[in-house]
């Protein structure tokens, strides 16, 4: 069989024209002749490069024709001659997934053992030949702590329970997702269990000492006399309140003729052997104290002392007020006009009229200080009493509602059901372009008297239009 093929090839070579004879000698004669032809071609240096390229293409095509005529197989004959992922199609090895893709949705094809096979994409499960579905949750443990598994949603989805369940009080509450559950609590400024009801906390008389007048401190949100409430001094010591900030300070001082023993008590001075007996024995700016001539001044903070006839006279410095023997504080505002528009004069201090979280407004309302007063208003898209709460509106005019509904009190309602203009039982009410209309029933027509009577009408007639 091989001899016949070679003989057939020689006959074909003899039939090719003179130019093809070169190719014949290259493949049919000994190798030495092929080498001589190659040297001969290289020796022709004046050939253009394009001519050489054309000759090479011609030789390749001639070789392919020669192989076909000689009966030599070209390309693959069976799948085993191709890669594991390829099949032999028309003597060409091709990836099997390009020829046949049997996979369903959300599945991908892969070639193996000369055949197309399917598998689900990542995060999908199911029969890849029919179609794969997303892998969902089966229990809460598969979700984050602030999510819950809802098996009835899709193929099972982990969602925030606060967005799916409305179990909190309608006003003054907030929902917090934890441990796969919705937990409710009242927001700052409200009290309650968060689930049933949250009520606003009463406004305290004070929050810190600075809210109280002189000689008083803030105890349990009320202004109390500090020395009476704490009683820190032992007799005969006297209690004095120093107006320090942010917390006022209590100081115990011993009266004249006593000194402290370092343990919070006052003891009498030991007798002096010598010294003054009265003020006249001292200079005009001194006084006789415990048989000693010394400066009698003991005024409070921000106070000025003048000694007249051996007696100290304490006065507050300019722009300060208070008890000069204890402390003088800087003079604050006296009226709202001395403060900015969003502030008001409270206990001689300019303080904002709007508190944290837009207090005293309720719900989603916004607080704004105008003319030293807190003014509440609902933001755009919400309505209601801004001092209680603001709610979303369904509509603002008829154009928002369907044609058979009208906007009444910010809700889309049937105008015939709410306010039927058809007072006579003969009429039927219907809605056109958000308006209630009256017409006669089928088989009746209207007359000039405003009633319906039986008769034929060619076109539906409106009896009344409002």
Preceding omega of 75 cis (within 30 degrees of 0): no
pLDDT number for residue 181: 92
Q: Does 166 score more than 80 pLDDT? A: yes
Q: Collect all residues with Cβ–Cβ distance below 8 Å to 459 and sequence separation of at least 6.
A: none
Q: Does 63 score more than 60 pLDDT? A: yes
First and final C-alpha spacing in the chain: 106
Report the alpha-carbon distance of residue 226 to residue 419 in Å, rounded. Answer: 66
Q: Does 29 score more than 60 pLDDT? A: no
**Which of the two residues, 161 and 18, has the higher pLDDT score?**
161
Report the alpha-carbon distance of residue 389 to residue 366 in Å, rounded. Answer: 10
**Which of the two residues, 52 and 356, has the higher pLDDT score?**
356
Q: Considering only 39-53, 122-136, 209-223, 438-452, which range has the smallest mean pLDDT?
A: 39-53
pLDDT number for residue 198: 93
Q: Which of 315, 297, 298, 317 is nearest to 307 (CA)?
A: 297
Share of residues in the chain with pLDDT > 70 (%): 80
**Which of the two residues, 86 and 69, has the higher pLDDT score?**
86
pLDDT number for residue 50: 63
Q: What is the pLDDT of residues 83-133, one digit of tens each?
A: 998 999 888 899 999 888 999 999 999 999 889 999 999 878 889 999 998
Given pLDDT bands bounded at 50, 70 and 90, which one contains residue 358? confident
Report the alpha-carbon distance of residue 170 to residue 152 in Å, rounded. Answer: 27
Q: What's the DSSP call for residue 450? A: S
φ and ψ at 35, to 5 degrees? -65, -40
Q: Does 362 score more than 80 pLDDT? A: yes
Rg, the chain, Cα only: 53
Q: Which of 180, 249, 260 is nearest to 215 (CA)?
A: 249
In DSSP notation, 278-308 reads SGGGS-TT-EEETTEEE------BTEEEEEE
Q: What is the pTM of this model?
A: 0.27
Q: Does 326 score more than 70 pLDDT? A: yes
Answer positive or negative: Cα dihedral of 386, 391, 397, 400: positive
Average pLDDT over residues 420-448: 78
Given pLDDT bands bounded at 50, 70 and 90, which one contains residue 173? very high
Q: Does 23 score more than 60 pLDDT? A: no
C-alpha pair distances (Å), 352 with each of 62, 190, 342, 347, 359: 99, 21, 6, 13, 11
Report the alpha-carbon distance of residue 165 to residue 462 in Å, rounded. Answer: 48
Given pLDDT bands bounded at 50, 70 and 90, which one contains residue 32? very low
Q: Mean pLDDT, the chain, as a whole number? A: 79
Report the alpha-carbon distance of residue 186 to residue 201 in Å, rounded. Answer: 11
Preceding omega of 236 cis (within 30 degrees of 0): yes
Q: Considering only 69-73, 247-251, 278-282, 303-307, which range has the smallest mean pLDDT?
A: 69-73
Report the alpha-carbon distance of residue 226 to residue 271 in Å, rounded. Answer: 35
User: Contact at 8 Å (CB) between 305 and 299?
Assistant: yes
φ and ψ at 89, to 5 degrees? -125, 115
Q: What is the pLDDT of residues 255-312, one digit of tens each?
A: 888 888 777 678 887 665 467 888 888 888 899 988 888 999 989 999 999 998 888 9
Q: Does 160 score more than 90 pLDDT? A: yes
Q: Does 36 score more than 50 pLDDT? A: no
Given pLDDT bands bounded at 50, 70 and 90, which one contains residue 9? very low
Given pLDDT bands bounded at 50, 70 and 90, which one contains residue 56? low
Buried b (16+ CB within 10 A) or exposed e, 267-276: eeeeeeeeeb
Q: Which of 62, 49, 79, 76 is nearest to 23 (CA)?
A: 62
Q: Does 34 score more than 50 pLDDT? A: no
Q: Does 25 score more than 50 pLDDT? A: no
Given pLDDT bands bounded at 50, 70 and 90, which one contains residue 466? very low
pLDDT number for residue 7: 38
In DSSP notation, 370-415 reads ETTEEEEEPPTTEES-TTT--EE-S-SSGGGS-TT-EEETTEEE-H
């Amino acid at each position: 069989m091989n001899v016949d093929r070679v003989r057939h090839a020689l006959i074909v070579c003899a039939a090719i024209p003179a130019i093809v004879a070169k190719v014949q000698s290259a493949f049919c004669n000994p190798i030495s002749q092929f080498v001589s032809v190659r040297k001969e071609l290289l020796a022709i240096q004046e050939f253009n490069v394009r001519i050489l390229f054309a000759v090479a293409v011609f030789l390749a095509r001639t070789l392919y024709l020669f192989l076909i005529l000689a009966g030599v197989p070209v390309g693959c004959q069976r799948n085993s001659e191709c890669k594991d992922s390829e099949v032999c199609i028309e003597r060409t090895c091709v990836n099997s997934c390009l020829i046949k893709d049997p996979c369903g949705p959300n599945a991908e094809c892969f070639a193996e053992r000369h055949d197309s096979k399917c598998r689900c994409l990542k995060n999908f499960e199911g029969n890849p030949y029919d179609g794969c579905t997303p892998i969902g949750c089966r229990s809460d443990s598969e979700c984050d702590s602030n999510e819950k598994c809802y098996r009835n949603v899709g193929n099972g989805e982990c969602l925030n329970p606060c967005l799916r369940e409305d179990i909190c009080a309608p006003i003054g509450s907030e929902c917090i997702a934890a441990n796969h559950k919705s937990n409710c609590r009242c927001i700052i400024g409200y009290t309650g269990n968060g689930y049933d009801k949250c009520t606003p906390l009463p406004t305290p008389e004070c929050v810190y000492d600075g809210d109280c007048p002189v000689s008083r401190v803030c105890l349990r949100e009320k202004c109390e006399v500090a020395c009476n409430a704490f009683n820190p001094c032992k007799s005969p010591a006297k209690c004095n309140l120093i107006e320090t900030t942010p917390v006022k300070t209590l100081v115990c001082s011993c009266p004249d003729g006593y000194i402290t023993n370092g343990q919070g008590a006052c003891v009498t001075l030991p007798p002096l052997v010598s010294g003054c007996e009265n003020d006249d024995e001292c200079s005009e700016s001194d006084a006789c104290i415990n048989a000693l001539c010394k400066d009698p001044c003991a005024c409070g903070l921000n106070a000025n002392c003048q000694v007249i006839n051996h007696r100290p006279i304490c006065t507050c410095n300019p722009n300060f007020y208070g008890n000069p023997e204890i402390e003088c504080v800087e003079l604050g505002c006296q009226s709202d006009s001395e403060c900015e528009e969003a502030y008001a004069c409270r206990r001689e201090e300019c303080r904002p009229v709007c508190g944290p979280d837009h207090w005293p407004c309720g719900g989603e309302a916004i607080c704004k200080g105008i003319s030293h007063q807190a003014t509440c208003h609902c933001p755009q898209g919400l309505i209601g009493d801004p001092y209680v709460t603001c709610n979303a509106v369904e509509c603002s005019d008829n154009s928002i509602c369907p044609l058979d509904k009208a906007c009444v009190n910010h809700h889309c309602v049937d105008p015939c059901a709410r306010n039927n203009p058809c007072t006579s039982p003969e009429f039927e009410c219907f809605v056109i372009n958000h308006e209630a209309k009256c017409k006669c029933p089928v088989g009746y027509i209207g007359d000039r008297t405003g009633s319906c009577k039986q008769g034929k009408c060619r076109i539906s007639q409106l009896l009344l239009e409002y």
